[in-house]
Amino acid sequence: MSDRPYSEICGHENQILDEHEGTYICLNCAKVIENFYIHPSNTETNDRDNEGFLGNKSVKLSSEITNRLNIPNLGLEDKKNELKSVSNVYIEANKSECTVTLKEMAAVSGFTCKQIGRETKNTVQLMNLSALLDKYCKILNLDYRTYTLIKENIEKVESSGHNPLTIVASHIYRHLKLTKTKISMKQLCETIGISSISIQRYLKRVQ
């Protein structure tokens, strides 16, 4: 019998989309999947009307998306396919270290996480935990010292394959609990956009 963890030898053939997390998870080993498989017959239709994004073809899609995300204009040219344009913004934003999550992109574009993930072939991986942590510490009005302490704690933990948002939220929550800072788990989850169960599962695994 192999000494390797089951998640390393599992073929990840039985996958499910966690739409709340914006990730694909293997039902056999519970590992977050970075790459997923698409059956040739599994296609989706876009139910948008023929008027284009926002119902106004004069609006430049990429510019509108970056405005909604409150990030710098990336200077991208729109594609004829709206999903392709949205996906390009998602890819280029993270290349430029703007740190845009799949769920944020879905929220401002109207496309689902699954649609954008398929279009990008799941090539965008938000592994810049420091940037994510900095982003949400600012949103939660946590100071730089708090950010530094949480960052140090994250760096002490070995990679677990969890969603980066789950990792960041869990370490923020653990720090808030230790320091008795008055930010509830509910508020934290609503701000970052993950479930409390995800935080509890992660903390149980790393503790």
pLDDT in tens, 49-83: 434 444 444 458 888 888 888 888 888 887 778 88
The SS3 call for residue 42 is coil
Q: What is the pLDDT of residues 84-100, one digit of tens each?
A: 888 888 888 878 767 78
Average pLDDT, the chain: 75
Mean pLDDT, rounded, for 172-201? 90
Three-class DSSP category at 2: coil
Domain shared by 95 and 150, yes or no: no
Global pTM reads: 0.51
Q: Which helix (H) or strand (E) holds 187?
A: helix 185-192
At 46, is the pLDDT very low, low, confident or very high (cuts 50, 70, 90)? Answer: very low
Instruction: Give me the domain span that covers residue 12.
Output: 1-37
Amino acid at 71: I
Same domain, 141 and 183: yes
Among 101, 119, 137, which residue terminates a domain? 119
Q: Which residue from 123, 107, 138, 92 is spatially nearest to 20, judged by alpha carbons? A: 107
DSSP 19: T
Whether residues 136 and 201 share a domain: the answer is yes
Question: Is 124 a domain residue?
Answer: no
Residue 123: Cβ within 10 Å count: 12
Domain total of the chain: 3
pLDDT of 2 over the 60 cut: no
